[in-house]
C-alpha cells in the first residue's frame, strides 16, 4: 500500500528520456506519482507494478483542457502535488535566418506556453499546501546560446527568466523552483525529440550547419548518464536548500562557467559606461 506521507510527483513527458527515468526511480522509492505522456499507453507499464501509487494519464501540454483534467484527476486521487517536473518539450535546430515560423511557434507552444500553463494549474494546490517544488527541465541552452539552436535556446531562456520570477513569488509560500540544465545526455533526444530545418545557406555551413550535423550524428555517444541525472533531480527535492539552478554534466559546467565569466568580464569592462547613463546625483 502507498503511504499517505510519501511525496506526490506530477511528471510530464514520461514516455521516454528523463521523464521516464525519473518516474521509474520515484516509484522505486515507494513514492506516489502522476505520470503523463501524449499517449497514455506509452506509460501504462510504469503503472502496472504499483497501481495504488500511480495515476497514468494522457496529456498534451499544449492542450489547456487536458491540463485542467489531469490536474483535477491528480487532486481527486492524491489530494496534493509536492513536486511538479515540467519535462515535456522538444528541440528545434536551425540557423536564425533559416528558422521556419510554424516550427518556431510550435516549439514555443510546447516548451514555453505549455510549461507555463501546466505550472499555473498546479500552483493553487502548492499555495494551499504552503509548499511544493517546481522542477523545470530547461537545458544548458537555457543559459548559453549555441549556433543552430537559437530558437530552442530562446524557448529555454524564456523559462529561465520566468522561473526567476516564480521563485521570488513562491518563496514566501514555501514553493521552491529549480531549473535543471542538462548538457548532452544519452536519452535518444536527437533521435526522438529533435526537429531540424536543413541548412541551405552556405554562409552558415560552418556554424549552424556543423552543429546540426554533429547533433544528429552524435546520438548514443553523449557522455551524460540519464540514470545518474534522474537520481540527482530527485535528491535535490529532499534538500532544504535546493538549488535555483542544477547544471548536469561536465559539458554543461564548462559551457556555463565560461559564459558567466564572459558576462562578468563585459560588466566590469563597461561598468563606467553603464553607470554614466543614470541621472547625475545632486
Q: Which three cell numbers stand for residue 137?
A: 527541465
- Side by side, the strands of the sheet bearing 83-86 are 54-58, 32-37, 8-11, 83-86, 132-137, 175-182, 245-248
Q: Write phi, then psi, for 88 (nearest 5 degrees).
A: -60, 140
Max CA-CA distance within the chain?
72
Q: What is the dihedral of CA 52, 117, 227, 239, to 10 degrees?
A: -80
Low-confidence ranges of the chain (pLDDT < 70): 1-3, 188-193, 216-220
Among residues 92, 151, 152, 204, the one annotated as catalytic is: 152
pLDDT digits (tens, 9 = 90+) for 21-43: 999 999 999 999 999 999 999 99
Task: Give the three cell numbers for residue 257.
Answer: 562557467
Return the beta strands (E) in 27-182 as ranges.
32-37, 54-58, 83-86, 91-93, 132-137, 175-182
- pLDDT attached to residue 184: 84
Q: What is the DSSP letter of 99?
A: -
Identify the pLDDT of residue 16.
87
CATH number of the domain located at residue range(s) 8-272 in this protein:
3.40.50.720
Q: What is the pLDDT of residue 220?
A: 63
pLDDT at residue 197 in the model? 87
In the annotation, is 151 catalytic? no
Nearest to 28 by CA among 210, 197, 231: 231
264-280 per-residue burial string, b: 16 or more CB within 10 A, e: under 16: eeeeeeeeeeeeeeeee
| Percent of the chain's residues with pLDDT above 70 | 95
Q: What is the pLDDT of residue 215?
A: 78
Residue 62 CA to residue 47 CA, distance in Å, equals 24
pLDDT value for 206: 94
DSSP annotation of 43 reads: G
Q: What is the pLDDT of residue 275?
A: 96
Rounded to 5 degrees, φ, ψ at 181 are -120, 85
Rounded to the nearest integer, the mean pLDDT of the chain is 93
CB atoms under 10 Å from CB of 42, counted, come to 17
Convert 166-197 to b/e letters by CB count within 10 Å (16 or more is b).
Answer: bbeebeeeebbbbbbbbbbbbbebbeebbebb
Amino acid at each position: 500500500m502507498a503511504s499517505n506521507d510519501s511525496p506526490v510527483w506530477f511528471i510530464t513527458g514520461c514516455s521516454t528520456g528523463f521523464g521516464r527515468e525519473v518516474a521509474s526511480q520515484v516509484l522505486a522509492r515507494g513514492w506516489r506519482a502522476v505520470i503523463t505522456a501524449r499517449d497514455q499507453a506509452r506509460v501504462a507499464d510504469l503503472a502496472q507494478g504499483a497501481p495504488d501509487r500511480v495515476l497514468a494519464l494522457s496529456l498534451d501540454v499544449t492542450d489547456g483542457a487536458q491540463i485542467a483534467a489531469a490536474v483535477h484527476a491528480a487532486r481527486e486521487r492524491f489530494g496534493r502535488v509536492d513536486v511538479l517536473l515540467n519535462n515535456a518539450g522538444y528541440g528545434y535546430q536551425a540557423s536564425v535566418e533559416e528558422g521556419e515560423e510554424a516550427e518556431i511557434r510550435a516549439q514555443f507552444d510546447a516548451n514555453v506556453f505549455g510549461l507555463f500553463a501546466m505550472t499555473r494549474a498546479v500552483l493553487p494546490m502548492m499555495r494551499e499546501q504552503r509548499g511544493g517544488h517546481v522542477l523545470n527541465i530547461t537545458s544548458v541552452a537555457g543559459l548559453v546560446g549555441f549556433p543552430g539552436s537559437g530558437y530552442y535556446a530562446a524557448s529555454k531562456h524564456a523559462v529561465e527568466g520566468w522561473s526567476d520570477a516564480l521563485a521570488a513569488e513562491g518563496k514566501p509560500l514555501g514553493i521552491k523552483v529549480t531549473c535543471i540544465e542538462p548538457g548532452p545526455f544519452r536519452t535518444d533526444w536527437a533521435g526522438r525529440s529533435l526537429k531540424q530545418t536543413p541548412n541551405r545557406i552556405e554562409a552558415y555551413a560552418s556554424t549552424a550547419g556543423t552543429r546540426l550535423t554533429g547533433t544528429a550524428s552524435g546520438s548514443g555517444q553523449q557522455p551524460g548518464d540519464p540514470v545518474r541525472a534522474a537520481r540527482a533531480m530527485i535528491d535535490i527535492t529532499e534538500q532544504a536548500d535546493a538549488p535555483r539552478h542544477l547544471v548536469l554534466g561536465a559539458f554543461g559546467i564548462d559551457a556555463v562557467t565560461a559564459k558567466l565569466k564572459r558576462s562578468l568580464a563585459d560588466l566590469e569592462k563597461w561598468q563606467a559606461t553603464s553607470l554614466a547613463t543614470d541621472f547625475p546625483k545632486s
